Amino acid sequence: MDLIQSPLFKALSAVKPLELEGSEAFKRALRSQSSEFFPSLQDIDKQQVIRMAIEVKDYTTRCWQGTKRLQDLNPIPAQVYIPEFGIL
């Protein structure tokens, strides 16, 4: 089965990239501090840093949990043919 042509791949590809508050702040910080690869957090409001850190930690936790669930999935047959009951 060609995965690239599968409906699941198309559905997943159509999902918009996740926008985190941290990503927006990272973009802004990169624009203002173009010489740094990882910009400093000192210029960002403390409450915002807390919000961003909680959001990113939740996001990475969800990603790991999702990956583990996918790893534990058993294969599911895409087509089942049971001639005894005439089911295709």
Partner 1 sequence: MNVEDYLNVISNLNRAVINDATALLALTVAWLDPLTVLEDSDELGETDLADFYYSGDDIGAALRVARDCFPGIYAEAIGKIRDGLGYQQVSDFISSEITDRTGIPMDQYDEPAAYAYGIPIPFYGAEWTESNFIEDHSELTALALLLGATRQETYGSDQIEFSSKTYQIAHILQASLWEHYDNSLHRSLMWAIGYATSSTGNSSVDFTYEEGCEFQPLSWMPDEVDFATAIIREAEQIMTESHQGLLLIQNDPCIRQILIDKIKEANVIVDRLQKKDLLYGVKSEFKLNWPEFIEVHKDVDHEE
- CB neighbour burial string for 38-65, b if at least 16 within 10 angstroms, e if fewer: ebeeeeeeeeeeeebeeeeeeeeeeeee
Tokens standing for 30?
């990169």
In the bound state with partner 1, the residue whose beta carbon lies nearer, of 38 and 81, is 38
CA distance readout (Å), 4 to 18, 36, 65, 82: 21, 37, 24, 29
Name the one range near partner 1 by CB under 8 A: 1-9, 12-20, 70-78, 80-88. Answer: 12-20
Segment 24 to 53, residues that bind partner 1, using CB under 8 A: 26-27, 30-31, 34-42, 46, 49-50, 52-53
71 binds partner 1 (CB under 8 A): no
How many Cβ atoms are within 10 Å of 25's Cβ, its own excluded?
A: 19
6, 9, 10, 54: which one binds partner 1 (CB under 8 A): 54
Residues lying near partner 1 in the complex (CB under 8 A): 17-18, 20, 22-23, 26-27, 30-31, 34-42, 46, 49-50, 52-54, 56-57, 59-60, 64
